Amino acid sequence: GAGVSQSPRYKVAKRGQDVALRCDPISGHVSLFWYQQALGQGPEFLTYFQNEAQLDKSGLPSDRFFAERPEGSVSTLKIQRTQQEDSAVYLCASSAEELNYGYTFGSGTRLTVV
């Protein structure tokens, strides 16, 4: 596609529910990043994939967060047993080359945990 596509755009989850957020990167993009943006803050790094390999997951806040990119294209961020502090916008970004700094971001998924 022309840009990075994320779905759903909005997700309301009851506390304790599991959620799955999807990212479709630009076709052919090698690198894929997930960021979490809390209200009034800048995006915070969660994890990074190069093709299907998860090279950095140092930003995942707890073992309730899990990301995968099994075929090196679409990625899914899964949050188990959601808590209120997980409420945020989850942004996905992709880039064509390794360590390319001009990442293209999707519009994000706004997760609200009630």
Partner 1 sequence: DQQVKQNSPSLSVQEGRISILNCDYTNSMFDYFLWYKKYPAEGPTFLISISSIKDKNEDGRFTVFLNKSAKHLSLHIVPSQPGDSAVYFCAAKVNTGKLIFGQGTTLQVKP
> How far, CA to CA in Å, does 8 sit from each of 1, 11, 53, 97, 100?
17, 6, 24, 27, 27
Q: Which among 12-20, 55-63, 67-75, 77-85 is the span making contact with partner 1, rule CB under 8 A?
A: 55-63
Say whether residue 45 binds partner 1 (CB under 8 A): yes
Minimum CB distance to partner 1, residue 5 (Å)? 11
For residue 25, state whether it binds partner 1 (rule: CB under 8 A): no
3-state secondary structure of 49: strand
| Interface characters, 1-20, with partner 1 (x: CB under 8 A) | ---x----------------
The strand ranges marked E within the chain are: 5-7, 10-13, 19-24, 31-37, 44-50, 53-56, 65-68, 75-79, 88-95, 104-105, 109-113
Within 74-93, which residues bind partner 1 (CB under 8 A)? 91, 93
Which residues lie near partner 1 (CB under 8 A)?
4, 31, 33, 35, 40-45, 48, 55-56, 59, 91, 93, 98-99, 101-108
